[in-house]
Amino acid sequence: MDWQSASKGFKQYLMLEKSLSPNSIEAYLHDITKFKNYLLSVNDSTGPIDIKYNQLLSFTNALNGVGISATSQARIISGLRAFYKYLNLEDVISTNPTEFLELPKLARKLPEVLFADDIENMLKQIDMTRSMAHRDKAIIDTLYSCGLRVSELINMNISDVYNTDEFIRVRGKGNKERLVPIGKYALKALNLYINEVRVHIPIKSKFSDTIFLNQRGSILSRISVFNLIKLLALKAGIKKTVSPHTFRHSFATSLVEGGADLRAVQQMLGHESITTTEIYTHIDRKFLKETIALYHPRAKF
Contact (Cβ atoms closer than 8 angstroms) between residue 166 and residue 118: no
Contact (Cβ atoms closer than 8 angstroms) between residue 241 and residue 250: no
* Residue 169 annotated to the active site: no
* Residue 248 annotated to the active site: yes
* Residue 84 annotated to the active site: no
Looking at 18, 34, 171, 173, which residue is catalytic? 173
Query: Which DSSP state fits 200?
Result: G
Residue 10: CB atoms within 10 Å: 23
**Separation of alpha carbons 70 and 64, rounded Å:** 8
Looking at 149, 193, 198, 249, which residue is catalytic? 149
Looking at 13, 84, 86, 280, which residue is catalytic? 280
- CA dist 147 → 32, 74, 181 (Å): 32, 26, 10
E strands in 98-165: 161-162
Looking at 134, 135, 198, 248, which residue is catalytic? 248
* Residue 184 annotated to the active site: no
* Residue 271 annotated to the active site: yes
Looking at 81, 134, 198, 271, which residue is catalytic? 271
Q: 22-41 and 70-89 are packed helices; what angle lies between their axes, rounded to 10 degrees? A: 100
Catalytic residues: 149, 173, 245, 248, 271, 280
